[in-house]
Structure 1
Amino acid sequence: MLVVGLTGGIAAGKSTATAFFQGRGVPVIDADEVARDVVAAGTPGLAAVVAAFGPQVLQADGTLDRRRLREVVFADPAQRLRLETILHPLINSRIRDRLQQVTGPYCILAVPLLIESANLRALVSRVLVIDVPEEVQLARLMQRDRMSAEQSRAMLAAQASRAQRLEGADDVVDNATDIAALTHQLESVHARYLELAAQR
């Protein structure tokens, strides 16, 4: 099966793009969803995170306090690496399992940090980047997540740069304007992927 890796910077519009593909009947595996699954209450993943970072990363109901964990790992690159060492093998394994189960001409693997992850990039045939200028990302982040400019810039700095994403792209869709323009471009890449899938 043709596996298309969909990625883009934070607040670029990846969720809107994945919703488009789902609306066309294309199977979508969302790495963020998988990442939540592997640290759900009662999972070995959550137990490993608590063992590494302490009970302060848990909420009162025993679920992961994502905001608290984010504060810890974004403040310290060594802690972020520690978290990735725990979670990435679990996420990669779960994604491989799901890829074995999907059917159709092609599927979308939506991964925010696809460019940074050699293991996940190895699973995809093509890379589709949802692209926006960094100033648009910052404005959307501050509005959507009520983050300060400083927090927003720190989140952007923790990801691959726009230039790195574009360099790794096979296909690029511009989402700097409106949903109509985005949809028009996605219709074109969808048709292209169906053609490529038929050739395989």
Structure 2
Amino acid sequence: MATLRLCALVAGPDAAAVDLDVPAGATAALVAAPPVGTAVARVVSGLAAPVAGRVLVGDREVTALPPPQRRIAYVPAGGALLPHLTVRRNIAYGQRRRERVREVADAWTATVVDRLELAPTLGLRPHLLSEAQRFRVALARAVVCLPEALVIDLPTGPAGGGRLTELLGRLTPPDTPGVAVLVCTAEPGALPDVPVAAEVGG
């Protein structure tokens, strides 16, 4: 596992530069208005290019790498679950490009499903789930691919930060210090146990 580093990262033409380090096993918040926070999350995860700056995972610079090569998982606001797939298949979707040994990943997936209390929902489609359940499915899909870092674009409301710290505490892979977790949020008060690493204006 590795530290996630943002070095003078500018996610959009009107956004301020972001400098922060999130060590392996730690969770930190980036406080920003939703458009800016989402832009940072998308840039870090590789879905958009930055205006300037760098993204590093440990000693690897990943700024120019496509998402599958970054080892950074992303939970978008709202979860972005595939509506035509069951919960089981949505979670498995996160493993399609995994590089770890299959037996390890499969065992970890079963552990994640159990720890996030998703077993009763595996045969359901997303529209039958509560907002909080959909968020947990999106979280499971992100972590089953055994990333080194995790970026969460935290929604407001019931699916937001109320239980996030508790949920993340259940998701440390065996024999590792855990992933570096960056939470982009407009509501720092929703994460009372998570230190604010940076605040970004539009």
Structure showing the higher helix proportion among its residues = 1
Structure showing the higher strand proportion among its residues = 2
Q: Which structure would you say has the larger Rg?
A: 1
Calculate the TM-score normalised by the size of structure 1: 0.31
